[in-house]
Amino acid sequence: MANALQSQVSRLRRALGRDRVEFHPAGYRLVAGPEDVDARRFERLAREGRQALAGGDAGRAAALLREALELWRGAPPSSCAPCTAAAARRRR
């Protein structure tokens, strides 16, 4: 089993770069910044989209919320009303 894990880690390092997969006493860790994680990017884009909408910049809000929605597979979270509305419009 250890050999299989090491083989997979080796493949992952080749794909992502050696510096993106670290070894720690508890196991391996993927090194990723907030912008590398779709959920974090979505949260930032949705927040900025809501702020733009509240500030009266509907065009910027639409672009930001559209970019956020493109990160999702499946239904957007119900806590993001503008995203849910935009997703409903896209389905029409």
Q: How far is CA 58 from CA 7, 48, 55, 64, in A?
A: 49, 12, 8, 10
Strand partners, 28: 23
Q: Domain ranges in the chain?
A: 2-31, 36-91
Helix locations, 1-92, DSSP H: 2-16, 38-54, 58-70, 81-91
Exposure on the CB side of residue 19, measured as CA atoms within 13 A:
1
Pick the closest to residue 67 from 30, 29, 35, 92 (CA basis). Answer: 35
Tell me: the pLDDT tens digits for 7-61? 999 999 999 898 999 988 888 898 988 888 888 898 899 999 999 999 999 999 9
* The model's pTM: 0.59
